Amino acid sequence: MFRVKKTKIPTVILKDFQKFASGYTKVHKEPDGPCVKTEIPGPKSKALFKELSDIQRALVNRPALGVFPGIDWPQKLRDVLLSVAPKGCNQVMTMMCGACSVESAFKAAFIWYCTNKRGGKTTFSDEELKSVMDNKAPGAPKLAIMSFKAPLLQGAFHGRTFGALATTRSKPIHKLDFPSFDWPCAIFPHYKYPLEEHKRENEEQDKKSLAHVCELFEKWEKKGIPVAGVIVEPIQSEGGDNHASPEFFQQLQAICASKCAALILDEVQTGCGPTGKMWCHEHFNLPSPPDLVTFSKKMLTGGYYARPEFKPPQAYRIFNTWMGDPSKLILLEQVLKVIKTEKLLDLVQCTGKVLKCGLHELECEFPDKINSVRGRGTFLAFDATSPEMRDKIMGNLKKNGVLGGVCGTTSVRLRPALTFAPKHAEIFLDILKKSLQQIK
């Protein structure tokens, strides 16, 4: 057995500490006990709570954003997150990451859908309250969220938590061994490039996909599992940087409205500027705001924006203890300030033109190696002619000093920082050309 030797504090240190403690208590006098001057919560807390409730639902009784936000939290939400909110979405809920943002958006969609089915009633029947504790209807209704897959193996990615994973279709390994929901998955348009040379074929792809969406709405209604919402990425990122036209998204929104289902745009990857606009869906000229927009990654914190009607009528419905991290808003505030003052969205558009034009030149020069250049802003991608060719390209890029990313089965994706300038694009294009030339 070991014995811990008792250390004697040197007299000089002990005297210094006693001197400090004596001085501290004189300056910082401890109260004799609690002193309650108003009812609890007091008038200031009530005013702040009302201010916060106009933006999001929260309760105030313990030190975490979900229940006890700081005094400046409502103003921070207005000054930072709501300052860049998608038009028409004046509600914001903060979360820790992309997956929990998607999960919470699903919950908001389900609450909205069920409230509408009750005729706007915000109270629950005894049967609902009892059955939900056994995970049974009517308290736990059978409802679905529709997502998208690509015509080939891979498709949407919305996260790895259980609800989000049910809508993720990018890689089998993400989903293997996990129970899931019986939720529908529509085919995402599969475009041919260059777009201007395949307009008719791509319009047919839009029609085929939208018809499949309508078919699945009807099919799941007949199964007794109505679709309460549709989630879609503005650019199907991990699944291969798959794009769809503004007309596709406009018509998808119209279908959702006609079916009384929520449209959820997952902007976790596309949000915060890489496409040349703050939100990628701004490129689509939607006739009305999307119902919910999820965000994370470049936004530093997670969460979702929503239209006013998607604010839950009861507290604790969309909730966790932390509800994000307030320190991230301090950082994000400065990021957004730099984006604005340095006109980085304009830079992204300028650099994107240089980068995309250069990629088009390379696909013409090396048609046996790359094709299908596509994207918005600097959120770009191209395809290799085979998975093996992509591996060779990526290997050569690495040897020549560039770390790149892949998605889908044959795609190479570009995700430069917002500060990536035309001169940087030229450097990359030179290295990519060299890397392609080295493949024999």
Any idea which residues carry the catalytic annotation? 157, 266, 297, 321
Q: Lay out the sheet containing 379-384: strands in order across.
A: 370-376, 379-384, 411-414, 405-407
Q: How far apart are CA 188 and CA 243, in angstroms?
A: 9
Contacts of 32 (CB under 8 A, 6+ apart): none
Q: How far apart are CA 353 and CA 349, in angstroms?
A: 6
352-360 own/partner pairs: CB under 8 Å, 24+ apart: 352/276, 352/376, 352/377, 352/378, 352/379, 352/380, 354/422, 354/425, 354/426, 355/380, 355/414, 355/425, 355/428, 355/429, 356/380, 358/425, 358/426, 358/429, 359/429, 359/432, 360/194
SS3 of 239-306: CCCECCCHHHHHHHHHHHHHCCCEEEEECCCCCCCCCCCCCHHHHHCCCCCCCEEEECHHHCCEEEEE
The residue type of 251 is Q
280 close to 292: Cβ distance less than 8 angstroms = no
Q: How far apart are CA 10 and CA 13, in angstroms?
A: 5
414 close to 380: Cβ distance less than 8 angstroms = yes
DSSP run (H or E) holding 370: strand 370-376
DSSP run (H or E) holding 149: strand 144-149
Phi/psi at 87 (5° precision)? -55, 130
Q: Lay out the sheet containing 292-295: strands in order across.
A: 91-95, 302-306, 292-295, 262-266, 227-232, 144-149, 185-187
CB atoms within 10 A of CB 159: 23
* Cα separations in angstroms, 25 against 20, 38, 103: 9, 27, 49
